[in-house]
Amino acid sequence: MGIPHLLLASQSPRRRELLALLELPFEVQVAQVAEIPQAGEPPHGLVVRLSRDKARAVDARPNTIAIACDTVVALDGELLGKPRDAAGATTMLARLRGRSHAVYSGITVLETASGRALTDVVEAQVLMRAYSDAEITAYVASGDPLDKAGAYAIQHAEFHPVAELLGCYANVMGLPLCHLTRSLRAWGIEPVGDVPAACQARTGCQCTLYATILGGQ
């Protein structure tokens, strides 16, 4: 049937940008899935369920591999989703300031014809710097926090909110590329580009994890 068609089930420009680093052709389709936690649902369970639901929700042509991801922020076990408004973003950023939290991404790669899927859960620990109230106000005024879990982008050049990261930078951005590459290889799909090199060049983060991840661990 030839090389499978790749379909990214996401409206996120950050995920599109990261997926493009694989140098494989793909199309984008927004998955209409309500991102609502179930009662008592842990963060890793939520991202698994939502990434699978998103992969299954797209209307795909034959011979398609759907790629879907969901990312959440958890502070002391409490989920911090996307803020509803500027006030909510301000509150979230104030709560995160100077503290560590967890970022979870669930990434599902689904063969639409058979329904066969692989799902990974990726966790990172993030320590935020002690930014000022004035910095929060300026960042919120930019509008950047409003479509992001936890109300921040790790890659934002002016705000640069993160002091220390333990884990995958691309995971915190919303699409852990080495985990995705590992799953795509299960269908015989190999990225054209050097994924670790491209990711490090894009993020500016020197990664020490890629060899372990791509080695299957």
| 70 is a catalytic site residue | yes
For residue 50, how many other CB atoms are within 10 A of its CB? 24
* Residues ≥6 apart with Cβ < 8 Å to 54: 9, 10, 31, 33, 68, 69, 70, 108
CA distances from 119 to 64, 67, 88, 179, 184 (A): 16, 10, 31, 10, 11
CA distances from 215 to 25, 168, 177, 181 (A): 24, 15, 14, 11
Which among 201, 155, 127 has a CA at the least distance from the CA of 13?
A: 155
Q: Which of 53, 70, 76, 147 is catalytic?
A: 70
CA 69 from chain centre, in angstroms, equals: 6
Phi, psi dihedral angles at 125 (to 5 degrees)? -105, 130
Token output for 169: 């930078």
Which among 58, 37, 17, 20 has a CA at the least distance from the CA of 174?
A: 17
Catalytic residues: 70
